[in-house]
Amino acid sequence: MATMHDDYYALLGVDRAASHAEIKQAFRRLARELHPDVSEEPDAGSRFRAVAEAYEVLSDPVRRQTYDRFGHAGLRSGGFSPMAADFGSLSDVFAAFFGEALFGRQAPTGGGPARGPDLAAHVEIDLAEAAAGTMLDAGVRVARTCTTCGGNGAAPGTTPITCPGCNGAGRIRLVSRTVLGQMVRTGGCPRCDGTGVVVEQPCETCEGDGRTLEDVPLELEIPAGIHDGQRIRVRGAGHDGILGGTPGDVYVSVAVRPLEGVERDGDDLRVRAVVTMTEAALGTTVSVPTPEGSYELELPPGTQPGAVHAVRGRGMPSLDSGRRGDLLVGVDVRVPTRLSGQQRAELLRLETGLGDDAYPGEDDGFLRRLKSAFR
Ligand SMILES: [Zn+2]
Ligand SMILES: [Zn+2]
């Protein structure tokens, strides 16, 4: 990952006056270089993400200005979250930025319709929203076919020509001499970005990409009972396809913020209630946190330390069955540690009066139930 000290311009190898097109070109070049299919460097993946983060900032005029003036600190206070960190694979990152596959936006040999790339998005909800289900806007940045050039990237009135670098194949043989002899591998043609065609006079709207990036709302229904880290697939909401191909999908990963004092265990929720020794002996009402607000639970007289009370159906809804899990309330008992001489004497007198049969025995059914409630 980029550290706070890595200069974004240095990461991309451009100077501070670089134009948008130069920054974009530098990122494309680095992205292909650092792809693990091509690169033999072990840290290529993390370098790629650092470079993607740099590109994400420098390609956005507002963020770039902030970065120029205040550096990384300015971006942090602006609520910057490096989106590259959320992606599963490098190809996802690349697709997110350019709406195209890493090695060319159409099949190297074909040029027919192709499905649009998938896109990754990320949302965060709290536990109450996860319990009730919610609708939200996952806002995504998707590539749309450029309406000025119709998607071929050529200025109106011109057409792309067959790439002279690869004769339209999109891939070329790369020959290098090493101490072990001659190495041959094939790679994406750098001249046409693997598309097999080059645009001599680029369309001004999309700078020759054939696509423009648009921020669009994405209405997302999050089902009740969703778990942290689960992904929701939204079909057809991803990047536009090539030449009329179907659009890709959006995979939205959902983070569920934990609720303090509540531990989720599958569809069950575990909370702790702390009572005094006397409350445990006499019975009391405790208040425990749940996603739907605090829940009042009556503890019976004789509640034992470590007892777990299951409140059926007050856990999380199950995604599979629709039934709800349980609220499991574990009881901690506080025992006084500072007693006056008189209090000690009173406790001792009480204890003597109680005798052994006031307490549950080892073989008592109650204790066995208690133990089985422990998990
Ligand atoms: Zn265009
Ligand atoms: Zn080519």
- Tens digit of pLDDT for each residue in 216-267? 999 999 999 999 999 999 999 998 887 778 898 999 999 999 999 999 999 9
Length of the chain: 375
Residue 348 is assigned to a structural domain of this protein = yes
Q: What secondary structure does DSSP assign to 270-289, as a single string?
A: EEEEEEEHHHHHH-EEEEEE
Where does 122-263 have alpha helices with state H? 127-132
The DSSP output letter for 108 is S
Annotate 118-128 with b (16+ C-beta within 10 A) or e (fewer): bbbbbbebebe
CB 48 within 8 A of CB 90: yes
Which of 69, 86, 103 corresponds to the end of one domain? 86
Radius of gyration of the chain (CA): 31
- What distance in angstroms lies between residue 197's CA and the mean position of ligand 2's atoms? 6
Residue 93 is assigned to a structural domain of this protein = no
Neighbouring residues of the ion ligand 1, judged by CB less than 5 Å? 146, 148-149, 203, 205-206
pLDDT of residue 81: 41
Q: Left, alpha or beta for 323 (phi > 0: left; psi -120 to 50: alpha)?
A: beta
Residue 11 is assigned to a structural domain of this protein = yes
pLDDT of residue 195: 77
- What distance in angstroms lies between residue 200's CA and the mean position of ligand 1's atoms? 13
Which of 34, 68, 86 corresponds to the end of one domain? 86
- What distance in angstroms lies between residue 156's CA and the mean position of ligand 1's atoms? 8
Instruction: Name the closest ligand to CA 164.
Output: 2
Where the chain has pLDDT below 50, the residues are 1-2, 4, 77-88, 103-110, 374-375
- What distance in angstroms lies between residue 186's CA and the mean position of ligand 2's atoms? 12
- What distance in angstroms lies between residue 150's CA and the mean position of ligand 1's atoms? 6
Instruction: Name the closest ligand to CA 158.
Output: 1
A 10 A CB-CB count for 21 gives: 11
> What domain range includes position 24?
1-86
- What distance in angstroms lies between residue 159's CA and the mean position of ligand 1's atoms? 12
CB 306 within 8 A of CB 370: yes
- Tens digit of pLDDT for each residue in 58-94? 887 778 888 888 787 766 543 334 343 344 455 556 6
CATH code assigned at 304: 2.60.260.20
Give how many domains the chain has, as a whole number. 2
What is the rounded CA–CA span in Å between residue 69 and residue 74? 8
- What distance in angstroms lies between residue 170's CA and the mean position of ligand 2's atoms? 5
User: Would you state the structure tokens that stand for residue 80, as one six-digit string?
Assistant: 């910057």
Residue 171 is assigned to a structural domain of this protein = no
CB 255 within 8 A of CB 120: no
Residue 257 is assigned to a structural domain of this protein = no
- What distance in angstroms lies between residue 199's CA and the mean position of ligand 2's atoms? 11
**What is the bridge-based pairing of β-strands 293-299 and 308-311?**
unpaired
- What distance in angstroms lies between residue 174's CA and the mean position of ligand 2's atoms? 13
Instruction: Name the closest ligand to CA 191.
Output: 2
Instruction: Name the closest ligand to CA 210.
Output: 1
Residue 69 is assigned to a structural domain of this protein = yes
- Give the helix/strand (H/E) hosting 134: strand 134-137
What is the rounded CA–CA span in Å between residue 367 and residue 360? 7
Q: Left, alpha or beta for 284 (phi > 0: left; psi -120 to 50: alpha)?
A: beta
- What distance in angstroms lies between residue 214's CA and the mean position of ligand 2's atoms? 28
pLDDT of residue 79: 37
How many angstroms separate the Cα of 324 from the Cα of each of 131, 147, 174?
10, 49, 59
CATH code assigned at 65: 1.10.287.110
- What distance in angstroms lies between residue 103's CA and the mean position of ligand 2's atoms? 11
- What distance in angstroms lies between residue 76's CA and the mean position of ligand 1's atoms? 34
pLDDT of residue 82: 38
End-to-end Cα distance, the chain: 40
CB 158 within 8 A of CB 201: yes
Residue 242 is assigned to a structural domain of this protein = no
What is the rounded CA–CA span in Å between residue 36 and residue 203? 32
Instruction: Name the closest ligand to CA 162.
Output: 2
pTM across the whole model:
0.63
Neighbouring residues of the ion ligand 2, judged by CB less than 5 Å? 163, 165-166, 189, 191-192
pLDDT of residue 361: 76
Residue 23 is assigned to a structural domain of this protein = yes
- What distance in angstroms lies between residue 139's CA and the mean position of ligand 1's atoms? 23
- Residue type (1 letter), 200: E
Distance of CA 294 to the CA centre of its chain: 29
Instruction: Name the closest ligand to CA 152.
Output: 1
Which of 56, 86, 116 corresponds to the end of one domain? 86
What is the rounded CA–CA span in Å between residue 115 and residue 112? 10
What is the rounded CA–CA span in Å between residue 296 and residue 98? 53
